[in-house]
Amino acid sequence: MRKTSTEANKKWQAKNPKYSNYLKKRSDCRNFLKKWANQDDLDEMRKLIRERDFAIQNGTALNVTVKKQE
């Protein structure tokens, strides 16, 4: 990556820390599921996804808003 691209990325990440963190965590999760998860991990993730989905649908989830700034 060119120096200017890296500088631009760092500037964007500094301007969007919450969204940048959200994207990193989402990417880490996807990578884990695709490359490392075993059957027990997948079963646990399914359970966690069902619980999170239920909480969101019923309005009981921790309300976290992550927005990208332009």
The per-residue pLDDT for 3 is: 75
Residue at 65 is within a domain: no
Number of domains in the chain: 1
Task: Give the range of the structural domain holding residue 42, as residue numbers without chain letter.
Answer: 3-57
- Is 28 a domain residue? yes
What percentage of residues in the chain have a pLDDT greater than 70? Answer: 87
Does the residue 48 lie in any domain? yes
Tokens linked to 24 = 């990193």
Residue with the larger pLDDT of the pair 34 and 5: 34
Identify whether 24 is part of a domain.
yes
Return the HEC string of 1-70. Answer: CCHHHHHHHHHHHHHCHHHHHHHHHHHHHHHHHHHCCCHHHHHHHHHHHHHHHHHHHCCCCCCCCCCCCC
